[in-house]
A and B are shown apart, each in its own frame.
Chain A
Amino acid sequence: MPTIRVFDREGKLHVLDAPVGWSVMEVIREAGLPIEAACGGCCACATCHVYVDPEWLDKLEPPHADETLMLDEAFQVQDNSRLSCQIKVTPELDGLTVTLAPEF
Protein backbone atom coordinates (compact mmCIF):
# COMPACT_ATOMS: atom_id res chain seq x y z
CA MET A 1 0.00 0.00 0.00
CA PRO A 2 1.30 3.50 -0.77
CA THR A 3 2.10 5.75 2.14
CA ILE A 4 1.73 9.49 2.38
CA ARG A 5 3.75 11.77 4.61
CA VAL A 6 1.86 14.44 6.52
CA PHE A 7 3.34 17.25 8.60
CA ASP A 8 0.88 18.46 11.23
CA ARG A 9 0.63 22.08 12.38
CA GLU A 10 3.32 21.51 15.01
CA GLY A 11 5.69 20.27 12.32
CA LYS A 12 5.51 16.62 13.40
CA LEU A 13 5.73 14.07 10.59
CA HIS A 14 3.13 11.29 10.31
CA VAL A 15 3.61 8.48 7.79
CA LEU A 16 0.20 7.09 6.88
CA ASP A 17 -0.97 4.04 4.95
CA ALA A 18 -2.99 5.33 2.04
CA PRO A 19 -5.41 2.92 0.34
CA VAL A 20 -5.54 3.48 -3.42
CA GLY A 21 -8.76 5.24 -4.39
CA TRP A 22 -9.16 7.11 -1.11
CA SER A 23 -8.69 10.84 -1.09
CA VAL A 24 -5.74 12.30 0.75
CA MET A 25 -8.22 14.08 3.04
CA GLU A 26 -9.78 10.73 3.98
CA VAL A 27 -6.39 9.26 4.78
CA ILE A 28 -5.58 12.20 7.04
CA ARG A 29 -8.98 12.21 8.71
CA GLU A 30 -9.06 8.44 9.35
CA ALA A 31 -5.63 8.73 10.99
CA GLY A 32 -7.22 11.12 13.48
CA LEU A 33 -5.12 14.12 12.49
CA PRO A 34 -6.83 17.49 12.94
CA ILE A 35 -8.38 18.24 9.58
CA GLU A 36 -11.86 19.74 9.69
CA ALA A 37 -13.11 18.60 6.24
CA ALA A 38 -16.49 20.07 7.09
CA CYS A 39 -18.17 19.10 3.83
CA GLY A 40 -16.91 15.54 3.86
CA GLY A 41 -14.99 15.82 0.61
CA CYS A 42 -17.46 17.55 -1.67
CA CYS A 43 -15.19 20.46 -2.56
CA ALA A 44 -17.60 22.75 -0.75
CA CYS A 45 -15.74 24.03 2.32
CA ALA A 46 -11.96 24.50 1.84
CA THR A 47 -11.27 23.15 5.33
CA CYS A 48 -9.12 20.30 4.00
CA HIS A 49 -6.50 22.75 2.75
CA VAL A 50 -2.92 21.40 2.59
CA TYR A 51 0.40 22.54 1.18
CA VAL A 52 1.92 20.02 -1.18
CA ASP A 53 5.68 19.51 -1.09
CA PRO A 54 6.94 21.39 -4.17
CA GLU A 55 8.66 18.24 -5.44
CA TRP A 56 5.30 16.54 -5.74
CA LEU A 57 3.32 19.40 -7.16
CA ASP A 58 3.57 18.56 -10.86
CA LYS A 59 3.03 14.84 -10.23
CA LEU A 60 -0.56 15.63 -9.23
CA GLU A 61 -3.48 16.11 -11.58
CA PRO A 62 -4.00 19.86 -11.85
CA PRO A 63 -6.94 21.22 -9.82
CA HIS A 64 -10.37 21.50 -11.39
CA ALA A 65 -12.01 24.92 -11.66
CA ASP A 66 -14.24 23.97 -8.69
CA GLU A 67 -11.24 23.44 -6.48
CA THR A 68 -9.59 26.72 -7.47
CA LEU A 69 -12.83 28.59 -6.73
CA MET A 70 -13.14 26.92 -3.36
CA LEU A 71 -9.54 27.77 -2.46
CA ASP A 72 -10.62 31.42 -2.60
CA GLU A 73 -12.35 30.81 0.72
CA ALA A 74 -9.25 29.35 2.34
CA PHE A 75 -6.66 31.42 4.11
CA GLN A 76 -2.90 31.74 3.58
CA VAL A 77 -3.19 30.17 0.17
CA GLN A 78 0.13 29.53 -1.59
CA ASP A 79 1.17 28.31 -5.02
CA ASN A 80 1.37 24.79 -3.60
CA SER A 81 -2.06 24.92 -1.93
CA ARG A 82 -4.53 22.14 -2.68
CA LEU A 83 -7.74 20.79 -1.22
CA SER A 84 -6.76 17.34 -0.01
CA CYS A 85 -10.22 15.88 -0.66
CA GLN A 86 -9.63 16.46 -4.36
CA ILE A 87 -6.39 14.44 -4.52
CA LYS A 88 -6.99 10.72 -5.12
CA VAL A 89 -4.39 8.27 -3.87
CA THR A 90 -2.75 6.31 -6.71
CA PRO A 91 0.25 3.95 -6.59
CA GLU A 92 2.32 6.69 -8.24
CA LEU A 93 1.70 8.99 -5.27
CA ASP A 94 3.58 6.68 -2.86
CA GLY A 95 5.60 9.06 -0.67
CA LEU A 96 3.48 12.16 -1.39
CA THR A 97 4.30 14.77 1.23
CA VAL A 98 1.86 17.43 2.44
CA THR A 99 1.58 19.89 5.33
CA LEU A 100 -1.70 20.79 7.02
CA ALA A 101 -2.57 24.44 6.41
CA PRO A 102 -3.48 26.61 9.40
CA GLU A 103 -6.93 25.99 10.85
CA PHE A 104 -9.58 28.70 10.77
Chain B
Amino acid sequence: MPFSSGSMDLRTAMNGQAISTDLVIIGAGPVGLFAVFEAGLLGLRCHLVDNLDKIGGQCAELYPDKPIYDIPAVPRCTGQELIDRLLEQIRPFEPTFHLREQAERLERLDNGRWRVTTSAGTVFEAPAVAIAAGAGSFVPRRLPLPEAEQFEGRSLFYAVRRSEAFYGHRIVVAGGGDSALDWVLALQPHAASIALVHRRDEFRAAPSSVERMRRLAAEGALRLIIGQIVGLEGRDGELEAVRIKTQDGKEERVACDRLLAFYGLKMELGPIAHWGLDLDKGQIKVDTEAFETNLPGVFAIGDICTYPGKLKLILSGFHEAALMCQKAFRYCRPNERLIFRYTTSSTDLQKKLGVI
Protein backbone atom coordinates (compact mmCIF):
# COMPACT_ATOMS: atom_id res chain seq x y z
CA MET B 1 0.00 0.00 0.00
CA PRO B 2 1.48 3.39 -0.84
CA PHE B 3 2.83 5.41 2.06
CA SER B 4 3.97 8.95 1.79
CA SER B 5 6.76 10.50 3.77
CA GLY B 6 6.21 13.87 5.37
CA SER B 7 9.09 15.55 3.54
CA MET B 8 7.86 14.51 0.12
CA ASP B 9 4.47 16.00 0.88
CA LEU B 10 6.07 19.18 2.10
CA ARG B 11 7.74 19.50 -1.27
CA THR B 12 4.50 18.98 -3.14
CA ALA B 13 2.84 21.52 -0.92
CA MET B 14 5.58 24.07 -1.46
CA ASN B 15 5.19 23.66 -5.17
CA GLY B 16 1.65 24.74 -4.54
CA GLN B 17 0.27 21.39 -5.65
CA ALA B 18 -2.54 19.99 -3.64
CA ILE B 19 -3.33 16.28 -3.73
CA SER B 20 -6.67 15.95 -5.45
CA THR B 21 -8.80 12.99 -4.43
CA ASP B 22 -12.41 11.96 -3.83
CA LEU B 23 -12.49 11.43 -0.10
CA VAL B 24 -10.05 12.61 2.56
CA ILE B 25 -10.39 10.49 5.70
CA ILE B 26 -9.07 11.98 8.92
CA GLY B 27 -8.14 9.12 11.25
CA ALA B 28 -6.90 5.65 10.30
CA GLY B 29 -8.72 3.76 13.07
CA PRO B 30 -11.01 0.81 12.29
CA VAL B 31 -13.83 3.07 11.13
CA GLY B 32 -11.67 5.18 8.81
CA LEU B 33 -10.30 1.95 7.33
CA PHE B 34 -13.71 0.46 6.67
CA ALA B 35 -14.79 3.73 5.04
CA VAL B 36 -12.07 3.05 2.43
CA PHE B 37 -13.81 -0.21 1.63
CA GLU B 38 -17.29 1.24 1.29
CA ALA B 39 -15.95 4.18 -0.73
CA GLY B 40 -13.94 1.80 -2.89
CA LEU B 41 -17.04 -0.19 -3.82
CA LEU B 42 -18.51 3.04 -5.14
CA GLY B 43 -15.34 3.78 -7.08
CA LEU B 44 -14.13 6.58 -4.80
CA ARG B 45 -10.40 7.08 -4.10
CA CYS B 46 -9.26 7.82 -0.56
CA HIS B 47 -6.35 9.42 1.25
CA LEU B 48 -6.06 8.88 5.01
CA VAL B 49 -4.30 11.11 7.53
CA ASP B 50 -3.33 10.01 11.03
CA ASN B 51 -0.94 11.55 13.47
CA LEU B 52 0.01 8.23 14.96
CA ASP B 53 3.01 6.46 13.45
CA LYS B 54 0.87 3.40 12.79
CA ILE B 55 -2.44 2.41 11.29
CA GLY B 56 -5.30 1.21 13.49
CA GLY B 57 -6.35 3.93 15.96
CA GLN B 58 -7.31 2.77 19.45
CA CYS B 59 -7.24 -0.92 18.45
CA ALA B 60 -3.57 -0.78 17.49
CA GLU B 61 -2.42 1.79 20.03
CA LEU B 62 -4.35 0.90 23.18
CA TYR B 63 -5.18 -2.78 22.95
CA PRO B 64 -3.41 -4.64 20.13
CA ASP B 65 -3.30 -7.91 22.12
CA LYS B 66 -6.67 -7.73 23.86
CA PRO B 67 -9.59 -9.75 22.48
CA ILE B 68 -12.70 -8.25 20.87
CA TYR B 69 -15.83 -10.42 20.89
CA ASP B 70 -18.51 -8.25 19.33
CA ILE B 71 -17.57 -7.88 15.68
CA PRO B 72 -20.41 -9.51 13.72
CA ALA B 73 -19.41 -12.96 12.41
CA VAL B 74 -15.95 -12.72 13.99
CA PRO B 75 -16.41 -14.50 17.33
CA ARG B 76 -12.99 -13.41 18.56
CA CYS B 77 -10.02 -11.44 17.35
CA THR B 78 -7.46 -9.16 18.91
CA GLY B 79 -7.27 -5.42 18.26
CA GLN B 80 -4.31 -5.86 15.94
CA GLU B 81 -5.90 -8.80 14.10
CA LEU B 82 -8.96 -6.69 13.38
CA ILE B 83 -6.77 -3.98 11.87
CA ASP B 84 -4.76 -6.50 9.84
CA ARG B 85 -7.96 -7.97 8.41
CA LEU B 86 -9.34 -4.55 7.54
CA LEU B 87 -6.09 -3.74 5.75
CA GLU B 88 -6.40 -6.94 3.77
CA GLN B 89 -10.01 -6.11 2.93
CA ILE B 90 -9.23 -2.61 1.64
CA ARG B 91 -6.03 -3.49 -0.23
CA PRO B 92 -7.76 -3.64 -3.67
CA PHE B 93 -8.69 0.03 -3.31
CA GLU B 94 -5.09 1.20 -2.80
CA PRO B 95 -5.65 3.94 -0.27
CA THR B 96 -2.75 6.26 0.49
CA PHE B 97 -1.76 6.73 4.14
CA HIS B 98 -0.19 9.88 5.50
CA LEU B 99 1.00 8.92 8.95
CA ARG B 100 2.57 11.14 11.62
CA GLU B 101 0.58 14.04 10.22
CA GLN B 102 -2.19 15.86 12.02
CA ALA B 103 -5.02 17.37 10.01
CA GLU B 104 -4.79 20.99 11.11
CA ARG B 105 -7.02 23.06 8.87
CA LEU B 106 -10.26 22.52 7.00
CA GLU B 107 -11.35 25.20 4.56
CA ARG B 108 -14.10 25.51 2.00
CA LEU B 109 -12.93 26.56 -1.44
CA ASP B 110 -14.91 28.79 -3.78
CA ASN B 111 -15.66 25.84 -6.05
CA GLY B 112 -17.36 24.06 -3.14
CA ARG B 113 -14.55 21.57 -2.59
CA TRP B 114 -12.76 21.18 0.74
CA ARG B 115 -9.10 21.79 1.45
CA VAL B 116 -7.41 19.90 4.29
CA THR B 117 -3.93 20.95 5.42
CA THR B 118 -1.77 18.80 7.69
CA SER B 119 0.96 19.58 10.22
CA ALA B 120 3.53 18.40 7.66
CA GLY B 121 2.21 20.85 5.08
CA THR B 122 0.41 18.27 2.95
CA VAL B 123 -2.60 19.80 1.21
CA PHE B 124 -5.58 17.84 -0.04
CA GLU B 125 -8.51 19.01 -2.10
CA ALA B 126 -11.61 16.89 -2.28
CA PRO B 127 -15.37 17.17 -2.65
CA ALA B 128 -15.91 15.18 0.56
CA VAL B 129 -14.14 14.79 3.90
CA ALA B 130 -14.81 12.04 6.44
CA ILE B 131 -13.73 12.78 10.00
CA ALA B 132 -13.10 9.41 11.66
CA ALA B 133 -11.02 10.87 14.45
CA GLY B 134 -12.15 8.71 17.38
CA ALA B 135 -11.68 10.60 20.63
CA GLY B 136 -9.21 12.87 18.88
CA SER B 137 -5.54 12.69 18.07
CA PHE B 138 -3.22 10.62 20.14
CA VAL B 139 -0.78 13.08 21.65
CA PRO B 140 1.89 12.64 24.34
CA ARG B 141 0.80 13.19 27.92
CA ARG B 142 2.27 16.34 29.40
CA LEU B 143 4.04 16.55 32.71
CA PRO B 144 1.28 17.62 35.10
CA LEU B 145 3.34 20.10 37.11
CA PRO B 146 2.27 23.74 37.20
CA GLU B 147 5.78 24.93 36.31
CA ALA B 148 6.09 22.56 33.32
CA GLU B 149 4.49 24.87 30.76
CA GLN B 150 7.24 27.51 30.78
CA PHE B 151 9.82 24.88 29.81
CA GLU B 152 7.81 23.01 27.17
CA GLY B 153 9.27 23.23 23.70
CA ARG B 154 12.44 24.91 25.00
CA SER B 155 14.06 22.50 27.42
CA LEU B 156 11.26 20.04 28.20
CA PHE B 157 10.11 17.76 25.36
CA TYR B 158 7.66 14.91 24.93
CA ALA B 159 9.08 13.71 21.62
CA VAL B 160 12.31 14.04 19.71
CA ARG B 161 12.15 15.86 16.40
CA ARG B 162 15.90 16.23 15.82
CA SER B 163 18.20 14.24 18.05
CA GLU B 164 21.10 16.66 17.39
CA ALA B 165 19.24 19.26 19.44
CA PHE B 166 20.04 17.15 22.50
CA TYR B 167 23.74 16.59 21.81
CA GLY B 168 26.15 17.97 24.40
CA HIS B 169 23.42 18.51 26.97
CA ARG B 170 22.81 17.20 30.46
CA ILE B 171 19.75 15.08 29.74
CA VAL B 172 17.16 13.48 31.96
CA VAL B 173 14.77 10.98 30.38
CA ALA B 174 11.63 9.92 32.27
CA GLY B 175 9.65 6.74 31.59
CA GLY B 176 9.94 2.97 31.46
CA GLY B 177 8.68 2.02 28.02
CA ASP B 178 10.31 1.63 24.63
CA SER B 179 10.35 5.34 23.78
CA ALA B 180 12.20 6.21 26.97
CA LEU B 181 14.74 3.39 26.66
CA ASP B 182 15.31 3.86 22.93
CA TRP B 183 16.11 7.54 23.38
CA VAL B 184 18.32 6.97 26.41
CA LEU B 185 20.36 4.52 24.37
CA ALA B 186 20.45 6.71 21.27
CA LEU B 187 21.40 9.91 23.08
CA GLN B 188 23.80 8.48 25.65
CA PRO B 189 26.93 8.58 23.41
CA HIS B 190 26.30 12.24 22.57
CA ALA B 191 25.18 13.63 25.93
CA ALA B 192 27.26 15.58 28.44
CA SER B 193 25.47 13.43 31.00
CA ILE B 194 22.33 11.36 30.95
CA ALA B 195 19.99 9.96 33.58
CA LEU B 196 16.94 7.73 33.30
CA VAL B 197 14.17 8.21 35.87
CA HIS B 198 11.51 5.57 36.35
CA ARG B 199 9.20 4.93 39.24
CA ARG B 200 10.22 1.33 39.80
CA ASP B 201 13.08 -0.93 38.91
CA GLU B 202 11.15 -2.80 36.22
CA PHE B 203 10.73 -1.79 32.62
CA ARG B 204 8.13 -2.42 29.99
CA ALA B 205 10.61 -1.81 27.17
CA ALA B 206 12.11 -4.57 25.02
CA PRO B 207 14.35 -6.81 27.18
CA SER B 208 17.38 -6.23 24.94
CA SER B 209 17.17 -2.44 25.44
CA VAL B 210 16.71 -2.88 29.19
CA GLU B 211 19.82 -5.05 29.28
CA ARG B 212 21.88 -2.51 27.33
CA MET B 213 20.67 0.27 29.61
CA ARG B 214 21.62 -1.70 32.71
CA ARG B 215 25.08 -2.40 31.32
CA LEU B 216 25.65 1.30 30.69
CA ALA B 217 24.39 2.08 34.18
CA ALA B 218 26.78 -0.47 35.68
CA GLU B 219 29.67 1.10 33.73
CA GLY B 220 28.68 4.51 35.05
CA ALA B 221 27.90 5.81 31.56
CA LEU B 222 24.35 6.64 32.59
CA ARG B 223 22.53 7.15 35.86
CA LEU B 224 19.48 5.09 36.63
CA ILE B 225 17.29 6.77 39.22
CA ILE B 226 14.29 4.96 40.67
CA GLY B 227 11.83 7.67 41.62
CA GLN B 228 9.40 10.25 40.30
CA ILE B 229 9.79 13.81 39.13
CA VAL B 230 8.13 16.19 41.57
CA GLY B 231 9.46 19.56 40.49
CA LEU B 232 11.36 21.53 37.87
CA GLU B 233 13.82 24.37 38.42
CA GLY B 234 15.14 26.94 36.00
CA ARG B 235 14.21 30.26 34.46
CA ASP B 236 13.28 31.85 31.17
CA GLY B 237 12.29 28.47 29.81
CA GLU B 238 15.72 26.96 30.45
CA LEU B 239 15.80 24.06 32.87
CA GLU B 240 18.56 23.90 35.46
CA ALA B 241 17.49 20.90 37.49
CA VAL B 242 14.71 18.41 38.12
CA ARG B 243 13.69 17.40 41.61
CA ILE B 244 13.13 13.69 41.99
CA LYS B 245 11.50 11.91 44.88
CA THR B 246 13.31 8.64 45.27
CA GLN B 247 11.90 5.39 46.61
CA ASP B 248 13.03 6.04 50.18
CA GLY B 249 10.95 9.23 50.18
CA LYS B 250 13.94 11.58 49.91
CA GLU B 251 14.11 14.36 47.38
CA GLU B 252 17.10 14.66 45.09
CA ARG B 253 18.05 17.54 42.81
CA VAL B 254 19.53 16.42 39.48
CA ALA B 255 21.20 19.09 37.36
CA CYS B 256 19.89 18.99 33.81
CA ASP B 257 19.16 21.27 30.89
CA ARG B 258 17.08 18.90 28.73
CA LEU B 259 14.20 16.80 29.99
CA LEU B 260 12.47 14.22 27.81
CA ALA B 261 9.32 12.85 29.43
CA PHE B 262 7.47 9.78 28.15
CA TYR B 263 4.22 9.24 30.04
CA GLY B 264 2.23 7.52 27.34
CA LEU B 265 -0.34 9.00 25.02
CA LYS B 266 -3.71 10.62 25.54
CA MET B 267 -6.43 11.59 23.12
CA GLU B 268 -7.22 15.21 22.50
CA LEU B 269 -9.78 16.67 20.10
CA GLY B 270 -7.13 19.13 18.88
CA PRO B 271 -7.59 21.32 15.80
CA ILE B 272 -10.99 19.79 14.91
CA ALA B 273 -12.51 21.96 17.63
CA HIS B 274 -11.85 25.07 15.49
CA TRP B 275 -13.33 23.97 12.18
CA GLY B 276 -16.76 25.46 12.71
CA LEU B 277 -18.41 22.10 13.35
CA ASP B 278 -21.44 21.72 15.61
CA LEU B 279 -20.03 20.02 18.68
CA ASP B 280 -21.62 18.41 21.69
CA LYS B 281 -19.22 17.61 24.55
CA GLY B 282 -16.26 17.23 22.21
CA GLN B 283 -18.14 15.13 19.68
CA ILE B 284 -19.42 16.13 16.28
CA LYS B 285 -23.17 16.26 15.74
CA VAL B 286 -24.41 14.42 12.65
CA ASP B 287 -27.68 13.33 11.08
CA THR B 288 -28.31 9.60 11.05
CA GLU B 289 -29.21 9.42 7.40
CA ALA B 290 -25.79 10.24 6.01
CA PHE B 291 -23.71 11.09 9.08
CA GLU B 292 -23.13 14.50 7.62
CA THR B 293 -22.12 17.42 9.85
CA ASN B 294 -23.41 20.98 9.70
CA LEU B 295 -20.83 21.56 6.93
CA PRO B 296 -22.12 20.08 3.64
CA GLY B 297 -19.73 17.45 2.31
CA VAL B 298 -18.03 17.00 5.68
CA PHE B 299 -19.00 13.78 7.44
CA ALA B 300 -18.20 12.37 10.88
CA ILE B 301 -18.20 8.65 11.64
CA GLY B 302 -17.08 6.36 14.46
CA ASP B 303 -16.39 7.41 18.04
CA ILE B 304 -16.09 11.10 17.10
CA CYS B 305 -19.72 11.51 16.02
CA THR B 306 -22.78 11.83 18.17
CA TYR B 307 -26.53 11.48 17.60
CA PRO B 308 -29.42 10.24 19.73
CA GLY B 309 -28.70 6.62 20.62
CA LYS B 310 -25.04 6.63 19.52
CA LEU B 311 -23.00 3.69 20.81
CA LYS B 312 -19.23 3.89 20.68
CA LEU B 313 -18.74 0.49 19.16
CA ILE B 314 -16.74 -0.55 16.14
CA LEU B 315 -19.79 -2.14 14.52
CA SER B 316 -21.74 1.13 14.75
CA GLY B 317 -18.84 2.89 13.06
CA PHE B 318 -18.90 0.39 10.19
CA HIS B 319 -22.58 1.06 9.59
CA GLU B 320 -21.99 4.80 9.71
CA ALA B 321 -19.19 4.46 7.14
CA ALA B 322 -21.44 2.61 4.69
CA LEU B 323 -24.23 5.17 4.83
CA MET B 324 -21.85 8.10 4.75
CA CYS B 325 -20.31 6.89 1.49
CA GLN B 326 -23.66 6.90 -0.30
CA LYS B 327 -24.01 10.63 0.27
CA ALA B 328 -20.30 11.33 -0.29
CA PHE B 329 -20.70 9.73 -3.73
CA ARG B 330 -23.20 12.41 -4.65
CA TYR B 331 -20.68 15.15 -3.88
CA CYS B 332 -17.92 13.32 -5.75
CA ARG B 333 -19.94 12.23 -8.82
CA PRO B 334 -22.85 14.65 -9.05
CA ASN B 335 -23.68 13.53 -12.58
CA GLU B 336 -23.62 9.78 -12.01
CA ARG B 337 -26.37 7.57 -10.73
CA LEU B 338 -25.68 5.24 -7.87
CA ILE B 339 -27.21 1.79 -8.19
CA PHE B 340 -27.51 -0.47 -5.18
CA ARG B 341 -25.72 -3.79 -5.71
CA TYR B 342 -24.43 -6.74 -3.70
CA THR B 343 -20.79 -7.83 -3.75
CA THR B 344 -22.10 -11.39 -4.10
CA SER B 345 -23.69 -10.86 -7.48
CA SER B 346 -22.32 -7.72 -9.07
CA THR B 347 -19.53 -8.31 -11.57
CA ASP B 348 -18.80 -4.60 -11.46
CA LEU B 349 -18.14 -4.73 -7.70
CA GLN B 350 -16.18 -7.95 -8.06
CA LYS B 351 -13.95 -6.31 -10.66
CA LYS B 352 -13.30 -3.44 -8.28
CA LEU B 353 -12.39 -5.97 -5.60
CA GLY B 354 -10.05 -7.70 -8.01
CA VAL B 355 -11.65 -11.12 -7.47
CA ILE B 356 -12.56 -11.70 -11.11
Contacts and interface: CB of A to CB of B under 8 A. Distances in A.
Interface of A: 38-39, 42, 44-47, 68-69, 71-77, 102-104
A73 B263 contact: yes
Would you list the 3 A-B pairs with minimal beta carbon distance, nearest first?
A104-B144, A73-B264, A44-B62
19 contacts: A42-B62, A42-B66, A44-B63, A45-B264, A46-B264, A47-B266, A68-B200, A71-B199, A72-B177, A73-B141, A73-B177, A73-B264, A75-B141, A75-B144, A75-B228, A77-B228, A102-B144, A103-B144, A104-B142
A39 B199 CA distance: 22
Given A38-B266, A69-B204, A77-B199, A45 B62 contact: yes
B45 interface: no
A29 B230 CA distance: 28
Q: Interface residues of A: mostly helix, strand, loop or mixed?
A: loop
A72 B66 contact: no
A47 B204 CA distance: 18
Contacts of B198: 72
Contacts, number: 48
A43 B66 CA distance: 10
Contacts of B141: 73, 75, 104
Given A69-B204, A72-B177, A72-B199, A42 B63 contact: yes
Nearest to A70: B264
A73 B179 CA distance: 12
Interface in B129-143: 135, 141-143
Contacts of A73: 141, 177, 263-264
Q: Interface residues of B: mostly helix, strand, loop or mixed?
A: loop
Contacts of B142: 104
B204 A72 contact: yes
B160 interface: no
A68 B200 CA distance: 10
A39 B135 CA distance: 10
Contacts of B267: 38
A72 B176 contact: yes
Nearest to B247: A79
Contacts of A71: 199
Contacts of B200: 68, 72
B249 to A, nearest CB: 10
Contact of B263 (A39, A44, A75): A75
Contacts of B66: 42, 44
Nearest to B245: A76
B222 to A, nearest CB: 19
Contacts of A38: 135, 266-267
Nearest to A45: B62
Contacts of A42: 62-63, 66
A38 B266 CA distance: 8
Interface string B161-197: 0000000000000011100000000000000000000
